[in-house]
Amino acid sequence: MSSNTKKRSALGKGLGALLENSDTDITSSSSGSPGIVGSIATLPISSIEANPFNPRSNFEKEALQELSTSIKIHGIIQPLTVRKLGRDKYQLISGERRFRAAQLAKLTEVPAYIRIANDQTMLEMALVENIQREDLNPIEVALSYQRLIEECSLTQDQLSQKISKSRSSITNHLRLLKLPAPIQAGVKENKITMGHARALVSAGDEETQVALYERVVNEKLSVRDIEAVLRGEEIREPVKKSSGEKPKNSKIAISESEYTFKEHLGDRLSTKVEIRKSPDGKGKIVLNFNSDADLNRIMELLNKK
176 lies in some domain? no
Where a domain ends, among 70, 85, 119?
A: 119
- Residues 25 and 82 sit within 8 Å (Cβ to Cβ): no
Do the domain assignments include residue 27?
yes
**191 part of a folded domain:** yes
Gap between the Cα atoms of 197 and 187, Å rounded: 7
pLDDT at position 55: 59
Q: Catalytic site residue 300?
A: no
Overall number of domains in the chain: 3
Residue 93 lies in a domain: yes
Q: What is the pLDDT of residues 101-110, one digit of tens each?
A: 999 999 999 9
Q: How many residues are there in the chain?
A: 305
* CATH code, 75: 3.90.1530.30
Q: Which domain holds residue 191?
A: 181-236
From 45-54, 143-152, 166-175, 259-268, the region with the lowest mean pLDDT: 259-268
More confidently predicted of 287 and 29: 287
DSSP 2-31: -HHHHHHHHHTT-HHHHHT-GGGBTT--TT
Among 36, 14, 12, residue whose Cα is nearest residue 25: 36
**C-alpha span between 67 and 51 (Å, rounded):** 19
Instruction: With respect to residue 158, please indicate whether it lies within any of the assigned structural domains.
Output: no
Residue type, 89: K
Note the pLDDT tens digit of each residue in 166-202: 888 899 999 998 898 889 989 988 899 988 999 899 8
Taking the C-alpha atoms of residue 53 and residue 93, their distance in angstroms, rounded to an integer, is 9
Over residues 32-67, the pLDDT tens digits come to 332 232 457 889 999 999 877 665 666 678 888 888
Residue 113's pLDDT is 81
Check 20, 62, 96, 109 and give the catalytic one: 96
